[in-house]
Amino acid sequence: MDFSIVVSEFASLFLDGIVVGAIYALVALGYTLVYGVLRLINFAHSEIFMLGTFACLGVTMLLGYTGYEEPIGIGLFLVTFILITVVAAVASGSAAMLLEVVAYRRLRRKGANRLSSLISAIGASFFLVELFRLLTDSKDWDFPRLLDKNSLFEVSSAYVTADKLVVLIGAFGLMFALDRIIQGTRLGRGIRAVSQDEKTAVLMGVDVDKVIAFTFLIGGVLAGVASAFYMLFYEATKFNVGFLLGISAFTAAVLGGIGNIRGALAGSFALGLIQQFSSAILGYNWRDVVTFLILVLVLLFKPTGLFGEAIQRARV
Amino acid sequence: MLLEVKDLKVSYGKIEAIKGISLNVNKGEIVTLVGANGAGKTTLLKTISGILKPSAGVINFEGKDIQSIAPHNRVLEGVCQAPEGRGIFPGMTVLENLEMGKYARPNWKNELAEDLDRIYILFPRLKERQSQFGGTLSGGEQQMLSIGRALMSRPRLLLLDEPSMGLAPMFIQQIFSIIREIQTQGVSILLVEQNAAQALSCANRAYILETGNIVKEGAGKDLLNDDAIKKAYLGTGA
């Protein structure tokens, strides 16, 4: 164990923790929003993310990238990357809505209990993973380097690179947009109402089915954008990429208090930082052990999460 | 006739909670449904709002069968409910809760200021608490908010489920005088209550519900003086 690295590399670890945390946050929001309206952990959400990474890859293939090109200029990069992001968001968003119709809606209409929905969620997750295992030959797929990753400037020990900036700016912009949607639009109000008291929401004229479909759409779109950021940052994917990322995002959501939007954001950044610093101290191989340990400890000792006591007020 | 319920039956699985009741509410009336716990009062209101589906019977509102209308669309027809337990959205402010009463109305932006004024005159306390979270209000304030929110939808029929439940006597008096005030504004009311004394003296007409059947009906004042009812519900008999 080497603690001195925490001091010497503090800025660098902090920056990476925030970048990874931003990606987790976009996925964690999907878990937490769906939990809010359905009281259900959508365990197939990680596969919606995985599907997004392959959508990103598909766009670069269609554009003719082989992975051996020189990085492109910033203008062309932005156009290309926005295209990739939009395609991934559309793919993941529509997949999430389809998932809701196929795996959950019929059970809900029949008044099935939550355990049935949970089993359906896990079934949908297995189906998507195995489908993509077949479609992608179980291979690792590399994402072409679109952007020069040399350092733009340094802050203490942190090398600030363009891809990290893109992820941070994009993720914070999206979180702001989500906040405006939830607080400021009619359907956003509907999401809050259904999350807080579904029966009364119906009495006030909220169409619960529509709100649930919209919630899955938002969650899917956020996961799709997260997948584009993930590909830009990590530059590789595989059929099972959703598993560990999904567990991390789920842990972040639980850490912050599931169902609580601000909690999901706080939990994500906290987990991103914890992972970076613990990897530096214990070694990278311990990263997922630490994640699972946090998940188990939170569920054992504080199942309502960090913001549990405030959950009634702050929920959505 | 504003609301007409005919031969209505509602079941939870094999248990029949409402065993074929008929009642009506005329325009401008306060009608109360009095009965003990488990008599089926809440079940009836939930069925009128569409949360529960009846196994038999008819529900006509303004002469139209509303059973084919989806639950969330019934508020637009002019029926709104302040539910049992008040149903306040705890993480929304008082103002946001009131705005939820406008959710279904297409022209809500133009109506909002006018209706808020109206509600705040009825419930000045809500104006003081405007930016406070619904979950932090006292029971009486939550009940005011629940009724005010239902009124925001401009109902012609207001369904009230046990508005006096869990309130201090002072608040109970206040709530019932506000219910009469709402009546003078032209809203008809179907009031479900365990507090028979208050409900009967407030209502134009009343029905007594016992284990899923209506056992008596009449003018509120008459039932208030009925010996059997005094004995069973008012605790002043014999």
Please say whether the beta carbons of A92 and A131 come within 8 A.
no
- Cβ contact (<8 Å) for A202 and B96? no
User: Which residues does residue B24 pair with via DSSP β-bridges, in sequence order?
Assistant: B4
Reduced to 3 states (helix: H, G, I; strand: E, B; else coil), residue A315 is coil
> Which parts of chain A register pLDDT below 70?
1, 308-316
Output the pLDDT for position B238. Answer: 43
Output the pLDDT for position A308. Answer: 60
Domain count, chain A: 1
What range defines the domain where residue A262 resides? 4-314
Q: State the burial class of residue A177 (Cβ atoms within 10 Å of its Cβ: 0-12, 13-18, 19+).
A: exposed
Output the pLDDT for position A149. Answer: 86
Q: What's A228's domain CATH number?
A: 1.10.3470
DSSP characters over B144-170 = HHHHHHHHTT--SEEEEE-TTTT--HH
Please say whether the beta carbons of B98 and B119 come within 8 A.
yes
Q: In the numeric block, which tokens belong to residue A211? A: 């709100």
Chain B residues inside the 8 Å CB shell of A192: 89, 91-92
Q: Is pLDDT at B77 greater than 90 in this prediction?
A: yes
CA distance A41 to A50: 17
Nearest chain B CA: its distance from A315 CA (Å): 6
Nearest chain A CA: its distance from B108 CA (Å): 11
Q: What is the pLDDT of residues B163-217, one digit of tens each?
A: 999 898 888 999 999 999 999 999 999 999 988 999 999 999 999 999 999 999 9
ipTM: 0.93
CA distance B167 to B165: 6
Q: What is the pLDDT of residues B113-134, one digit of tens each?
A: 999 999 999 999 999 999 999 9
- Cβ contact (<8 Å) for B90 and A313? yes
Chain B residues inside the 8 Å CB shell of A212: none
Output the pLDDT for position A163. Answer: 93
DSSP characters over A88-115 = HHHHHHHHHHHHIIIIIIHHHHTT--HH
Superfamily of domain B3-225: P-loop containing nucleotide triphosphate hydrolases (3.40.50.300)
Nearest chain A CA: its distance from B222 CA (Å): 33
Nearest chain A CA: its distance from B123 CA (Å): 20
Please say whether the beta carbons of B90 and B135 come within 8 A.
yes
Run of H or E residues at B22: strand B15-25
Q: Where are the domains of chain B?
A: 3-225
**pLDDT interval class at B236 (50, 70, 90):** low
Mean pLDDT, chain B, as a whole number? 93
Chain A residues inside the 8 Å CB shell of B136: 313
Residue with tokens 């709104």: B80
CA distance A230 to A47: 14
Q: Is pLDDT at B237 greater than 70 in this prediction?
A: no
Chain B residues inside the 8 Å CB shell of A204: 75, 80, 100-101, 103-104, 149, 153
